[in-house]
Structure 1
Amino acid sequence: MAERHGRATGSGRAVAEGSTDLHPRKLDLLNLTLVDVNGGLRPYLNVFLLVHRDWSATTVGLVTTVAGLIGVALQAPLGAAVDAVHDKRLAIVAALVFASLGAAVIAIWPYFWPVLVAFTLLTAAGSSFTPTVAGLTLGIFPKSRLARRMGRNSAWYRGGNVAIAVLIALVGYGFPDRAVFFLVPALSFLAAAAVLSIPRDIVGQEMAEAVKPEGGGSASAWRVLVGSRPLLVFAGAIFLFQLANGPLASLVGQKISLAHPNWSAAITSTTIIAAQVVMLPMAVLVGRFADGWGRKPIILFAFAMLPVRALLYTVSDEPAWLFAVQTLEGVSTGLYSAIKPLILADVMDDKSRYNLASGAVATVQGIAIALSNVLAGGVVDWSGFGAAFLVSAVIGTAAAILITRMPEPSERRASG
């Protein structure tokens, strides 16, 4: 065991100290090819079902909500299974396979029950990508380089989302509407090739030695969550943030696509691209300044931008205005996505129980995203898009207020 630990530590140090740039480049490629299920594929799925399959907004919201909740319930046992896998690369490959199967089923059988099962697979698989990559990063890079590497991960991930959104627009315009979903297997193949190109000993050992899995599955995760006040406040604020933010991109895409159904894929992709282009520099900003500015000012600003954006959607129905406002998602979501793993690492003392904390927060986030769709769909059917935007603004304001109660994570770690 001691010899194995020495090899793993030495390999990780070689990467961290820059003696080779092999592994950072492969992490870049992995982040570039991962599909953002919630931010990229879910809005197009909602538009596809509403505009091209004539589903009601309530039914669309119901399917995505139920699928999301089932996916959340599966996260704890799936996380325990991943902890038990020695070769972590295989866990990512398995998730990519399930995501590909889910997307293919939606394309071939776009009916209620097949879509429900398929989107459950997609949600469960997609939610595991970012935490797994963050966990691998924690095991490879030292604290002094962690913020920059996490920012770089997020920047490449956002850059990939922009490229994927462009592909969705091109495929959606030139081919039948359901062809978009076949992009997922193609991209999953590239992502699998990227992760398998990372040497097995680097991936397999650093997390096994640095992060000690705990028994109890989801019960352990909830004990960690309830036992840490900063983590509990952070999770509560994330729940409100995602409950408000989850449906906004889909609502904008649906609103414009109903007026221009033949351009639904291009319109949905444009709304995604508008946000993702802004998210990329936000990720770089977090990587460069998170240590100097602190975590809390960044997350507070990210949360405060959400209700502003939701209110601006109600000012005009013009597509140009809605697209312009959608770029503000890049500020709020871009900052939040890049700073979240750093806050979790600080609160949980970097690697100790990081996976448990990440799993608990991911569960809370998944519940919020799932509920947000049925809530927004019901409000739209009941009182229109404007009312749905106002509800999101109120919930987003509550999230920003709650995050002010969280202690500065980096100061807490330093004082500890």
Structure 2
Amino acid sequence: MRTSTSAVLLSPLAALAALNLFLADVRDGLGPFLGVFLQEKGWGPAEIGLVMTLGGLVGMAATMPMGALVDASRAKRAIIVIGSAAILAASLTILAIPQFVAVAAAQAVNGVAAAALLPAIAGLTLGLVGPAGFDRQLGRNEAFNHAGNILAAVLAGVLGWWFGLPAVFALLGAMALLGALSALAIPAAAIDHEAARGGSGAAVGEGHESIGKLLREPALVTAAITFGLFHLGNAAMLPLFGQAMVATAGADPSGLTAATVVVAQGTMIPMALVAAWLGQRSGYRLVLLLALAALPIRGVIAAAAVHYGAAWALIPVQMLDGVGAGLLGVATPGLVARILAGSGRFNLGLGFAMTAQGIGASLSTLLGGVVAQRLGYPAAFLVLGGVAVLAAGAYLIGGCPGGTAPRRPVAGPGTAAAAA
């Protein structure tokens, strides 16, 4: 009864927008604030990198099972609610017990929950709007997601300045509650579950490819390797940049971290809309190339900023973060959906791509932390930026899949919702 009453107040797509807005602060847990929080507790860069890597690897192992779960489940809203609650509980554990074992276990829980949230939201979106409206809605989803990150970062900066970093945890709890209510406001009847899994409209049990055949899809493998290498170079830059500025300039950790997030997320909003526009019209090849080009430029500017103490460089460094991450946030589910159209395994394929991303992101924090501790922060940024060259090479060697057209005919359930 509660769901149907909420649905009267919000249309399905309005509830989806609210879901992306509020879960922005929940999906990544403490995000860049975790490194600063642990740094205040006396942790070194290598220790921070290691604990984030351990948690990330556990979460990475869960991405394909979680994707398969979303494909098979008709309870996508419940998956979102349970995942949000798990991330909140893990984050409160870090606040209460900032010891290595407890933090590593909490990060593992965060990783598993986040591995469920992304395919659940993507599948929910595809089930609401259908293939015809998916590219456009992805841009809207990511725009609201980045707007939510800005809102959360501003509030976290203000609350952290007044009450210290523990206030960030309270904000995370409020966002988790609002995100859960938004998920429940989407009527279950509005979700086409066959469309949500990228199915062709065949009868149940027909037209769904085997996992082995799915993972031998050359375009999917190439895309996953490219995504993984991009995140290997990109994931550690934001938290490492915050740590570097705190360590070298003595900046306020809450305010500085919030500022880095706001600049990056503000750039991601138009980039997400541009990526959706390009993907809808010409596929995702140009989107991926632009994202890869931003990473080495960002690494060079970040290294120079830390070396020379140029605080103004925060703006271009984080704007370039917004370019890369904003484009990839749309391209990842958009390209996977096109490659696997009609397979009935969209969320499993997205889980495969997320596994590659998780490996890259987890190793990124370890790579960045070790290089920073041994050679200094500027060297770490140059190494991370240089990984984009490997990503570009993998993408070019693999034939540059751009998803200009689905490989299979696709049924279009959900068109009415897309037009709403």
Q: What TM-score comes out, normalization by structure 2 length?
A: 0.86
- Out of 126-135 and 363-372, give the one that drifted further: 126-135
Map of 2:352 onto structure 1 = 360
Quote the Cα distance in structure 2 between the aligned partners of 1:178 and 1:31.
Answer: 24
Secondary structure, aligned partner of 1:316: helix
Equivalences, count? 392
1:303 aligns with 2:295: no
Relative distance call for 1:221 and 1:304 in structure 2 (3 A) is farther
- Out of 353-362 and 399-408, give the one that drifted further: 399-408
Map of 2:214 onto structure 1 = 224
Secondary structure, aligned partner of 1:46: helix
Out of 173, 180, 193, the residue aligned to residue 185 of structure 1 is 173
The letter of the residue matching 1:408 is G
Secondary structure, aligned partner of 2:341: coil
Quote the Cα distance in structure 1 between the aligned partners of 2:288 and 2:67.
Answer: 26
Quote the Cα distance in structure 1 between the aligned partners of 2:305 and 2:192.
Answer: 52
Quote the Cα distance in structure 2 between the aligned partners of 1:254 and 1:323.
Answer: 16
| Deviation (angstroms), 1:302 | 1.1
Map of 2:20 onto structure 1 = 31
Relative distance call for 1:37 and 1:238 in structure 2 (3 A) is farther
- Out of 22-31 and 343-352, give the one that drifted further: 343-352
| Deviation (angstroms), 1:130 | 2.5
Relative distance call for 1:144 and 1:200 in structure 2 (3 A) is closer
The 8 Å contact of residues 38 and 123 in structure 1, kept in 2 or not, is answered as: no
| Deviation (angstroms), 1:413 | 3.0
Out of 223, 230, 233, the residue aligned to residue 234 of structure 1 is 223
The 8 Å contact of residues 58 and 108 in structure 2, kept in 1 or not, is answered as: yes
The letter of the residue matching 2:346 is Y
Map of 1:251 onto structure 2 = 240
The 8 Å contact of residues 138 and 351 in structure 1, kept in 2 or not, is answered as: no
Map of 1:264 onto structure 2 = 253
Per-residue CA deviation, residues 200-249 of structure 1 (Å, 9 max, x unaligned), is 223474557864999xxxxx656522x11111111111111000001000
Unaligned runs of 5+ in 1: 1-14, 215-219
Aligned pairs for 1:304-323 (under 5 A) are 304-317=293-306, 318-323=310-315
Out of 63, 67, 70, the residue aligned to residue 51 of structure 2 is 63
Per-residue CA deviation, residues 161-203 of structure 1 (Å, 9 max, x unaligned), is 1111111111111113222122222110000000001112234
The 8 Å contact of residues 89 and 203 in structure 1, kept in 2 or not, is answered as: no
Quote the Cα distance in structure 2 between the aligned partners of 1:170 and 1:222.
Answer: 50
Secondary structure, aligned partner of 1:74: helix
| Deviation (angstroms), 1:340 | 1.6
The 8 Å contact of residues 64 and 119 in structure 1, kept in 2 or not, is answered as: yes
Aligned pairs for 1:119-158 (under 5 A) are 119-158=107-146
Quote the Cα distance in structure 2 between the aligned partners of 1:58 and 1:177.
Answer: 21
Relative distance call for 1:328 and 1:286 in structure 2 (3 A) is same
Quote the Cα distance in structure 2 between the aligned partners of 1:81 and 1:294.
Answer: 28
Map of 1:47 onto structure 2 = 36
Secondary structure, aligned partner of 1:55: coil
The letter of the residue matching 2:102 is P
Map of 2:401 onto structure 1 = 407
Quote the Cα distance in structure 2 between the aligned partners of 1:250 and 1:261.
Answer: 15
Quote the Cα distance in structure 1 between the aligned partners of 2:279 and 2:182.
Answer: 28
1:288 aligns with 2:277: yes
Quote the Cα distance in structure 1 between the aligned partners of 2:28 and 2:87.
Answer: 15
The 8 Å contact of residues 31 and 153 in structure 1, kept in 2 or not, is answered as: yes
The 8 Å contact of residues 235 and 364 in structure 1, kept in 2 or not, is answered as: yes
Relative distance call for 1:208 and 1:139 in structure 2 (3 A) is closer
Map of 1:103 onto structure 2 = 91
- Out of 239-248 and 312-321, give the one that drifted further: 312-321
Per-residue CA deviation, residues 329-363 of structure 1 (Å, 9 max, x unaligned), is 11111011112211111100166310111111111
The 8 Å contact of residues 94 and 106 in structure 2, kept in 1 or not, is answered as: yes
Quote the Cα distance in structure 2 between the aligned partners of 1:66 and 1:230.
Answer: 29
Quote the Cα distance in structure 2 between the aligned partners of 1:38 and 1:203.
Answer: 22
Secondary structure, aligned partner of 1:327: helix
| Deviation (angstroms), 1:95 | 0.2
Secondary structure, aligned partner of 2:186: coil
Quote the Cα distance in structure 1 between the aligned partners of 2:290 and 2:342.
Answer: 24
Quote the Cα distance in structure 2 between the aligned partners of 1:247 and 1:347.
Answer: 29
Out of 369, 380, 384, the residue aligned to residue 388 of structure 1 is 380
| Deviation (angstroms), 1:101 | 0.1
Map of 1:397 onto structure 2 = 389
| Deviation (angstroms), 1:287 | 2.6
Relative distance call for 1:384 and 1:38 in structure 2 (3 A) is farther
Quote the Cα distance in structure 2 between the aligned partners of 1:344 and 1:208.
Answer: 13
Relative distance call for 1:383 and 1:170 in structure 2 (3 A) is same
The letter of the residue matching 1:258 is A
1:374 aligns with 2:363: no
The letter of the residue matching 1:236 is I
| Deviation (angstroms), 1:284 | 1.4
Quote the Cα distance in structure 1 between the aligned partners of 2:336 and 2:196.
Answer: 19
Unaligned runs of 5+ in 2: 1-6, 411-420
- Out of 66-75 and 25-34, give the one that drifted further: 66-75
Quote the Cα distance in structure 2 between the aligned partners of 1:175 and 1:127.
Answer: 31
The 8 Å contact of residues 56 and 359 in structure 2, kept in 1 or not, is answered as: yes
Quote the Cα distance in structure 2 between the aligned partners of 1:135 and 1:401.
Answer: 31
Map of 2:161 onto structure 1 = 173
Quote the Cα distance in structure 2 between the aligned partners of 1:26 and 1:274.
Answer: 26
